[in-house]
Amino acid sequence: MFILLVVVFFKITKSNNINITNLSVPDANHIRFDISWENSWYISGSNWDAVWVFIKAQNCAGTTTWDHVNLSAIPADHSVSGGTGLYVEVAVTDGKGVFIRRNSNGFGTQSGTITLAFASAIPSFATTNFHVFGIEMVWVPQGSYRVGDGSTNNTTQSVASFGTEGASTPYLITDENWMDWDVLMNTKPGDNLITMHPQLPAFFPKGYDAFYCMKYEISQQQYMTFLNDLSLLQQGTRTFAPPSSPAGTLAMTTPGNQNRNSIVVRIPSISGLPAVYDNDLNLDGAYGDGKDIACNYLSWDDLVAYLDWTALRPMTELEFEKACRGPIGSVLTEFPWGNTTILQAISSSITNGGASNELSASAGVGLCAYGAGASTTLGPFRCGFASSASTIRLTAGASYWGIFDLGGNVWEQTVSCGSVIWPARVPASITFNGSNGDGSINVFGNANVATWPSIGTTGAVIVRGGNWEYVSQKVQVSDRTYVINITENSGRVRRTGGRGVRKP
């Protein structure tokens, strides 16, 4: 949906519960908009949710590309008026965006009018188009936590889970310091070779330090909106079907393998112009359905391009376990909602399919999209589908911190601690230092953060948390089955999606 104001147009974005409306640019130094989102919370000194807000601009008289807009790093330059009590948190020094959150303890719907200051004036603001984006995030505070769940066999327990220097005992991480070879090794039968890992430098994020994590997996609307701000060349890299494909063509996969992916070409590329994408789950030309479903068919390269563009970053697999279980001790074979009970949700049995209020026909403790098998008509659910006003952590599929769908739906793609195969003991190169994306990708549509690993680096990336198709064992928090297997995200796979984090 677009608003036309003078010669400037603004894009209204919605990510699950976020609404950003009434955008205006009152002068060369500021942008103003209303924001609201449901189910917000703030627990002082402990945990809260926030919206990561970032801006893209297109100079109509210039290159016409959509470029990231830096914001002022001075808190006093931004302001909030009206609404229910919001705070602009300038917890970043790179100016790539701001976090907007509640300003006091409480729960419920939040709203207000936000005025943000640009890092530098935009003289051509009257002939510049602006897009303002919001992504719901959850604060994971600094603190100790455990990795591994004490698994001792591969039959029903977490495969290749972490342990304590060769034992199955979960390991307590108490800092971000350098970690020696195989400190996290678990020598349970059959797993010792792939649980071994190289040295983890101090700069490799181990989950002890605080970070923001996306509340939900990347939705199909979020990825579609990303595509619409890319150049023609970039679009061709970040989709399966050429941008010149006819209207209604699936963008990320083939018609026979849709698996509930709704991203389609709405207006084909012509005369060198980029294509326009939309969501159409039913492929009937009635756009908008399926936009809130978790985005599958994302390769590692797709994920990191999106995260670089949003100025977020991929999480490490250690941060994944911290995001799931929090500071409390681990439970053998536990799922992200904190116990060992799981209830299957299958996309062939849903109500309001493809709508923003899509629900599973099932409800109860451990409701999770898993185990549906390889049917081409099935796929992931709406992001956060198990949550409602009446659910608690156990019935909403939420992590300790209030992060949704870390188990099931689509694979979480994370940076791996690596694997060192005995007897070769060849050190894997660990270069990932937790650098955030800078809001831009290269001309070919790829992420360009030098320290982020590529899919071709042995043991560099790993999928965690299970998915809608595979069995429940893969959903277990500590399961690392794919530590030496990149088949699940080296290309676009129906089971694979992801989310990002950001370290302040």
Question: How far apart are the C-alpha atoms of 186 and 196, rounded to whole Å?
Answer: 8
Q: Where are the alpha helices (DSSP H) in 260-379?
A: 300-309, 317-325
Beta bridge partners of 316: 415
pLDDT at residue 13, rounded to an integer: 40
pLDDT at residue 427, rounded to an integer: 58
Measured at the alpha carbon of residue 222, what is the angle toward residues 391 and 38, in degrees to the nearest 5? 35
pLDDT at residue 10, rounded to an integer: 39
Query: Which run of H or E residues covers position 87?
Result: strand 86-89
Phi, psi of 57 (to 5 degrees): -135, 150
The DSSP output letter for 435 is P
Helix/strand/coil percentages in the chain, nearest 5? 10, 30, 60
Whether the CB-CB separation of 326 and 47 falls below 8 Å is answered with no
pLDDT at residue 15, rounded to an integer: 43
Q: If we measure between CA atoms, which residue out of 101, 343, 127, 306 comes closest to residue 221?
A: 306
89 alpha-carbon distance from chain centroid = 20
Question: How far apart are the C-alpha atoms of 422 and 187, rounded to whole Å?
Answer: 12
**Which residues, given as ranges, of the chain have pLDDT below 50?**
1-15
Q: What is the CA radius of gyration of the chain?
A: 22
Scored b (16 or more CB within 10 A) or e, 234-257 reads: bbbbbbbbebebeeebbbbbeeee
Q: DSSP E strands: which ranges in 380-425?
A: 412-415
pLDDT at residue 428, rounded to an integer: 62
How many CA atoms, within 13 angstroms, populate the side-chain half-sphere of residue 470?
22
Phi, psi of 276 (to 5 degrees): -115, 130
Whether the CB-CB separation of 98 and 89 falls below 8 Å is answered with yes
Question: How far apart are the C-alpha atoms of 374 and 335, rounded to whole Å?
Answer: 22
Query: Which run of H or E residues covers position 172?
Result: strand 171-173
SS3 123: coil
pTM of the full predicted structure?
0.95
